[in-house]
């Protein structure tokens, strides 16, 4: 374990020396997330403190262990239907991963039927990932930093896209994902996708991502719907499920 940490630290210093690591120097558009907005949207504070942060850190640690076990750094956040909390899970998981000093997180909005990450974070992007795919705009033009979230980068979608599944299954999308996943050794890519049973986007994109995480909502997600969603994505390794809106208290230790 100690040797792994030392190797990671050596790699980070080497990467920073040649400009390949995500750094704390913002080179992209920087937006501010007001406290009131963050609280109303239930987004974690930088560093993911508190009981809610502890829950997401537990999820982060399990996710990272399972990704590392299959040598993966790309993860699709999935749900069977809408309203199950996948976008909030994607955001807060990315925040929790960015709280790990050995990792950076890139949060990508690929729900091109109903892009919502930028609305949750309270900003209007000037360039979206759809323009990087359709018009080959440089991807760095669309990337956004959130003030205070030093190791987190957001790649938002700006507008709804017709025939979105054709766009995100195209060769250009695969090339972009490969570029993003190979640029920084310590980066984890989190993709927010449309619900599996409401559109074919997640299925179309699944060949470009290495693992999936299913979000289910207590009292909303039907067992049959989850089973159908898992069956559709039978070729994608599903590393776990997240129970959202549970009424059961997990308690606290401190």
Per-residue pLDDT reduced to its tens digit, 24-72: 444 679 999 999 999 999 999 999 999 999 999 999 999 999 999 999 9
* Strand order, beta sheet including 74-78: 29-31, 144-146, 152-155, 104-109, 187-192, 74-78, 211-217, 238-244
- Which residue has 């986007």 as its token pair? 201
Measured between alpha carbons, how far is 101 from 201 in angstroms, rounded to an integer?
33
Q: Give Cβ neighbours of residue 130 (< 8 Å, ≥ 6 apart).
A: 112, 157, 158, 159, 161, 167
Matching residue, tokens 């089973």: 227
Average pLDDT taken over every residue of the chain: 88
Does domain 27-244 match CATH 3.90.650.10? no
Asked if pLDDT for residue 94 goes beyond 60, the answer is yes
Decide if pLDDT at 8 tops 70: no
pLDDT for res 222: 81
- Whether the pLDDT of residue 227 is over 70: the answer is yes
Measuring CA to CA, which residue among 46, 40, 37, 14 is closest to residue 150? 46
Q: What is the mean pLDDT of residues 84-100?
A: 97
Query: 113 with 194: CB under 8 angstroms?
Result: yes
Rounded to a whole number, what is the largest CA-CA distance in the chain? Answer: 51
Asked if residue 11 has pLDDT above 90, the reply is: no
Say whether pLDDT at 164 is over 60. Answer: yes
What is the Cβ-side half-sphere exposure of residue 59, based on CA atoms within 13 angstroms? 26
pLDDT digits (tens, 9 = 90+) for 170-216: 999 999 999 999 988 899 999 999 999 999 999 999 999 999 999 99
Q: How much of the chain, in percent, has pLDDT values that exceed 70?
A: 85
Question: Any idea of the CA torsion for 97, 51, 49, 115, to the nearest 10 degrees?
Answer: 50
3-state class (DSSP) for residue 107: strand
And the tokens for 103? 């990792």
Contacts of 24 (CB under 8 A, 6+ apart): 150, 151
């Amino acid at each position: 374990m100690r040797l792994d940490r030392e190797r990671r630290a050596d790699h980070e210093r080497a990467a920073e020396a040649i400009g390949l690591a995500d750094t704390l120097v913002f080179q992209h558009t920087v937006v501010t997330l007001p406290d009131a907005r963050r609280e109303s949207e239930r987004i974690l504070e930088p560093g993911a403190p508190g009981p809610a942060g502890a829950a997401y850190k537990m999820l982060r640690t399990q996710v990272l262990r399972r990704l590392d076990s299959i040598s993966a750094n790309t993860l699709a956040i999935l749900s069977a239907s809408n309203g199950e909390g996948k976008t909030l899970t994607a955001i807060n998981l990315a925040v929790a991963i960015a709280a790990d000093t050995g990792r950076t997180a890139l949060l990508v909005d690929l729900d091109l039927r109903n892009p919502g990450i930028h609305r949750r974070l309270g900003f209007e992007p000037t360039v979206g990932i759809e323009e990087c795919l359709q018009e080959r705009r440089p991807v760095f033009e669309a990337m956004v930093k959130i003030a205070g979230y030093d190791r987190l980068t957001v790649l938002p979608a700006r507008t709804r896209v017709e025939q979105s599944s054709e766009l995100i299954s195209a060769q250009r999308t695969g090339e972009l994902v490969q570029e993003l996943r190979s640029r920084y050794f310590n980066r984890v890519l989190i993709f927010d996708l449309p619900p599996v049973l409401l559109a074919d986007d997640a299925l179309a994109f699944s060949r470009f991502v290495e693992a999936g995480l299913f979000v289910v909502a207590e009292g909303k997600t039907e067992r049959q719907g989850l089973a159908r969603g898992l069956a559709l994505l039978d070729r994608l390794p599903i590393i776990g499920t997240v129970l959202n809106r549970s009424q059961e208290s997990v308690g606290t230790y401190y």
